[in-house]
Structure 1
Amino acid sequence: MAWILLVLAGLSEVAMALSLKQSAGLSHLWWTVSFLACAVLSFGLLAVSLKSLEVGTAYAVWTGIGAVGTAAVGMLVLGDDVSLVKIASIVLILAGVVGLNLAGGH
């Protein structure tokens, strides 16, 4: 259950980052409210998952989902630049998260 909550926390982090982008510097009220709600949800779910997961592994997974998810949505939906270096960097983030899990972060 903790892993499911952690994945949901990471996805909430993606939504938080995208809401922050859409808020235009916190100048659009509803996008700002969305940002704040997603931030509270993301940190709350992370906190609950940390009751039974190792902090280092959980934090790496959470930030990894956030970073990879936000970068992917930015490139696929928001028109951010796509490059081989960006794709390779995303792969390296994923490899690091998998490596931490294989190292015993269960």
Structure 2
Amino acid sequence: MAWIVLVISGLLETAWAVALDRSAGFTRLVPSVVFGITIVLSMLGLAYALREIPVGTGYAVWVGIGAVGTALVGMVALGEPANLARILSLLLVVAGVVGLKLFH
């Protein structure tokens, strides 16, 4: 259960990072509220998962999921460059996250 919560929390990290960008420095209400809700839920999920998963592994997986998710949203929905080097770099992060899970 801790791993499922950790993955969901990583996805919520993507949500709060995108909402933070869309909030324009907290000048737009809806993205600011989405940011507040998702960051709290993401942190609560991380805290829950860390009761069973070592902090080094849990935090690295959480950050990796959030970073890859945020970069993918940027490339797919926000017009950020999606070149081969960026995609290969993201695949390396994914490989690291999978490795941390497999060798936990």
Same fold (TM over 0.5): yes
Whole-angstrom CA distance in 2 between matches of 1:3 and 1:95: 17
User: RMSD across aligned C-alpha pairs, in angstroms?
Assistant: 1.0
Gaps of 5+ in 2: none
**Runs of 4+ off more than 2 Å:** none
Whole-angstrom CA distance in 2 between matches of 1:66 and 1:86: 16
- In the TM superposition, residue 4 of structure 1 has moved relative to its aligned partner by 0.8
Task: Give the structure 2 partner of residue 32 of structure 1.
Answer: 32
Task: Give the structure 2 partner of residue 75 of structure 1.
Answer: 75
Residue 57 of structure 1 pairs with residue 53 of structure 2: no
Question: TM-score, normalized by length of structure 2?
Answer: 0.94
Whole-angstrom CA distance in 1 between matches of 2:45 and 2:65: 14
Task: Give the structure 2 partner of residue 96 of structure 1.
Answer: 96
- In the TM superposition, residue 101 of structure 1 has moved relative to its aligned partner by 2.1
Render the CA deviation track for 1:23-70: whole Å, top value 9, x for unaligned: 011110221111111110000100001111111111111011101111
- In the TM superposition, residue 102 of structure 1 has moved relative to its aligned partner by 2.6
Task: Give the structure 2 partner of residue 41 of structure 1.
Answer: 41
The residue type paired with residue 102 of structure 2 is L
Matched residues, number: 104
Identity %: 53
The residue type paired with residue 52 of structure 1 is E
Question: TM-score, normalized by length of structure 1?
Answer: 0.92
- In the TM superposition, residue 21 of structure 1 has moved relative to its aligned partner by 1.1
Whole-angstrom CA distance in 2 between matches of 1:97 and 1:31: 28
Whole-angstrom CA distance in 2 between matches of 1:102 and 1:50: 17
